[in-house]
Homo-oligomer: A and B are copies of this chain.
């Protein structure tokens, strides 16, 4: 049989669509950290066979979004608070580096894209009350800034590494909370970063990017401290099934 629900019209290749769709499912939170990813189930759901799906899962494993134990299957990676701190430390380093590079080499097209994103963000800012969905949308839009800046560096390895980093961080349920925490500051920081990059001021861009992440990191630290107080010791976010 050709596949029951053969919907895709233009599948560059099935393993690519499998990779993209599973990745999106994870990043959108449709499958939660710690949950198992059963091959048959997923391949049925996506309307393709196990082979391209497994190739996608293998790639996602290297990217760190899923973990695999031989003969036991795949699960969505669980990011604990300690790991999150490490990831944010690295992001501080690499985001600053990327911002400086982007400031030096950003194209007119990139600047236009940043302008467009900033206009969209301004629309959110104008409203008094935002629904949770609106907030989620603003968060996603805000991430676009970082994605554009990273892309504009034009450095493949850096792009791949930071995308993997962002992906891992988005597995943290907590970040939503962190970002909402001081949303006004986040908005101001985003403006400063974009201003510095579009002004092609590398030093300033690096400083702004570093501060931006540093605050997230400090916010996280407060959460960790609060957790310690509550539970006596810090605990992972989800129950890791042995």
List the interface of chain A (C-beta within 8 A of B): 12-13, 15-16, 51, 54-55, 58-59, 61-64, 70-71, 83, 86-87, 89-90, 93-94, 97, 155-158, 160-161, 164-165, 168
Chain B residues lying within 8 Å of A155, measured Cβ to Cβ, are 83, 86, 90
Chain B residues lying within 8 Å of A161, measured Cβ to Cβ, are 90, 161, 164
Q: How many copies does the complex hold?
A: 2
B58 touching A156, Cβ below 8 Å: no
Residue of B nearest to A15 (CB): B58
B168 touching A83, Cβ below 8 Å: no
A146, chain B: closest CB distance, angstroms: 17
> How many angstroms between the C-alpha atoms of A59 and B54 in the bound complex?
11
A86 touching B55, Cβ below 8 Å: no
* Shortest 5 CB-CB contacts between residues of A and residues of B: A62-B62, A86-B155, A55-B58, A59-B62, A58-B58
Chain B residues lying within 8 Å of A54, measured Cβ to Cβ, are 55
A70 touching B157, Cβ below 8 Å: no
B165 touching A64, Cβ below 8 Å: no
> Could you show 11 A-B contacts with beta carbons less than 8 Å apart?
A16-B70, A54-B55, A55-B58, A59-B62, A62-B63, A86-B155, A87-B157, A89-B97, A90-B157, A93-B93, A161-B161
Residue of B nearest to A153 (CB): B86
A70 touching B158, Cβ below 8 Å: no
Chain B residues lying within 8 Å of A164, measured Cβ to Cβ, are 157, 161
